[in-house]
Structure 1
Amino acid sequence: MDSQYGDEKASMAQEKQNPPPYQEATQMGYPQPGPAQQPYPGQQPYPGQQPYPGQQPYPGQQPYPGQQPYPGQVYPGQTVIAVQPQMPLVTPQKDYLGYSIFTLLCCCMPLGIAALIYSILTRDANSRGNLTEATENSRLARNLNNAALAVGLVVIIGAIIYVVVVVTQINY
């Protein structure tokens, strides 16, 4: 049995010493369509690729002489729209963000959430430079905060009165 395994090991060692001969690849990647392989019907070439013989390029595609256009380059027939960036407001509207967080946590959560949303919208409108939207959102945030504070105070005062009345009823 040992001689059988010894022969196998010897043949394996000999194979490792003699690797297979190197074969140079003539063409890398997928085979190009030729007489034996035609492109699918309606198949278009990739941008920058020459169309196959007998195939038309994309409609309106102009071949580029070895270079891609610059990102800002205008094509014939293309409409150009210039957008002016808006600057933030010089005197931004108050966003009442701290007041909104206070009313959210301490007074009335539903109204506090709405006030917080309008506070954030006010801040966004201020950064975009939209004065009318910032003013409207600021006013809504302030009114919602005031309402939340009023509801919270009424509930807290009502709870205190209720506890005092119940405690005095129990003692007497």
Structure 2
Amino acid sequence: MDPSKSVPPPYAPQQYSQGGQLIPQAQYSQVAYQGQVPVTLQPMVYANPTPLARPMPDYMCYSIFTLLCCCLPLGIVALVNSVSTRNANISGQHLLAEKSSRNARNWNHAALIFGIIILGLYLVYIFVLQDRNHH
């Protein structure tokens, strides 16, 4: 088989006709059809959010403490709300920051109380129930 015969010849540039006159492809311009409404594009506007002047407390340290020392699941929820508060403070969303801050505080309090109750029950078990088993 001859390799020169297997390669197709290059295509000639397409030409379009408009009103009986041939227009080469490079010179072809698009025209609106009858009844077609032109579309006007507006420039893109980018709004840079400004951080809050008085940011809400995010309770980040409190969340990390309750996460590591008190109750892991409740501490994780508190930490997520703390991060959400910090992001809302940076992006200038006051209502979201206020809501997330309140949720972070409440979850931290719940984790701390739960941790204290568990610690109290553990101490009761160690000092009272273990003492009964030895006597």
Q: Is the pair's TM-score, using the shorter chain for normalization, greater than 0.5?
A: yes
**4+ aligned runs moved over 3 Å, structure 1:** 55-60
Paired with 1:171 and 1:116, the residues of 2 have a C-alpha distance of 42
User: Where does residue 160 of structure 1 map in the other structure?
Assistant: 123
**Coordinate RMSD, CA, aligned:** 2.5
What percentage of residue pairs aligned between the two structures are identical?
39
Structure number with larger C-alpha Rg? 1
DSSP-derived class of the 1:153 partner: helix
1:83 aligns with 2:56: no
The alignment's TM-score, normalised by the length of structure 2, stands at 0.73
1:118 maps to a residue whose letter is N
User: Where does residue 94 of structure 1 map in the other structure?
Assistant: 57
The alignment's TM-score, normalised by the length of structure 1, stands at 0.58
Q: Which has the larger share of helix?
A: 2
Paired with 2:82 and 2:29, the residues of 1 have a C-alpha distance of 51
Paired with 1:95 and 1:59, the residues of 2 have a C-alpha distance of 59
User: Where does residue 36 of structure 1 map in the other structure?
Assistant: 9
Match 1:141 to one of 92, 95, 104: 104
Unaligned runs of 5+ in 2: 1-7, 17-24, 31-38
Unaligned runs of 5+ in 1: 1-34, 40-51, 61-75
Shift in Å at residue 36 of structure 1?
A: 2.6
Paired with 1:59 and 1:154, the residues of 2 have a C-alpha distance of 79
Match 2:85 to one of 116, 122, 145: 122
Paired with 1:59 and 1:136, the residues of 2 have a C-alpha distance of 56
Q: Which has the larger share of strand?
A: 2
**Number of residues of Structure 1 aligned to a counterpart in Structure 2:** 112
